Amino acid sequence: MPRHHNKSSAPGGSQRQLRVAETVRHAVADILSHGNVHDPDLEGHIITVPEVRMSPDLKLATIYVMPLGGRDIDVVIAALERNKKFLRGEIAHRVNLKFVPDLRFRVDERFDEAERIEKLLRTPAVQRDLAPDTDDK
C-alpha cells in the first residue's frame, strides 16, 4: 500500500502556501493602507493584516485582520465581506496566480490571547512562583 506524503503537515502549510499567503497579505495590506476600498465603515480605520492562510489548493485565503485599537471589529469584518469582490479583483492585478483565491475574513485574536497571558503572568500566584527562592543557602 503506497503512502501519500501530505505536504501540509508542516505548521502553516507547504512552502508554496506560505509564500502565496505572504504575497496576498502584502497585497491586501497595501490595498487597505492606501484607502482603495471606498466604504464608509472602513474610513477612519487603520486595519492591520498580520496573517493570511491559504488552503492547500490555493483557492481559499483566510485573511486575519484587526482594526487599530480593536474597535468596531464586527463593522470592519462586515465591510470587508461586502467589498470582497473588489478586493479579489485588486489581488488579481497584484498577485500572479492561476486562480484568484476566494477571500474569507477573520478577526485576529492573537492580541487578546497575548493580553490574557500577560494578565496571568502578573497575578500574585504566578509572581510568587517566579520569585527567586530565599531559602537556598
> Taking CA 55 as the corner, what is the angle to CA 52 and CA 58, rounded to the nearest 5 degrees?
90
More confident residue, 5 or 73: 73
Q: Is the dihedral of CA 62, 55, 8, 14 positive or negative?
A: negative
pLDDT of residue 108: 84
- Rounded to a whole number of angstroms, the distance between the first and last alpha carbons of the chain is 63
φ/ψ of 108, rounded to 5, equals -85, 115
Which is more confident, 133 or 66? 66
- Judged against a pLDDT cut of 50, whether residue 7 lies above it is answered with no
- pTM flag (> 0.85): no
Instruction: With H, G, I as helix, E, B as strand and everything else as coil, classify residue 60.
Output: strand
- The answer to whether residues 79 and 39 touch, using CB atoms and an 8 Å cutoff, is yes
Query: What is the pLDDT confidence band of residue 5, given thresholds at 50, 70 and 90?
Result: very low
Output DSSP code: residue 56: T
More confident residue, 6 or 84: 84
Domains defined for the chain, CATH in brackets: 8-108 (3.30.300.20)
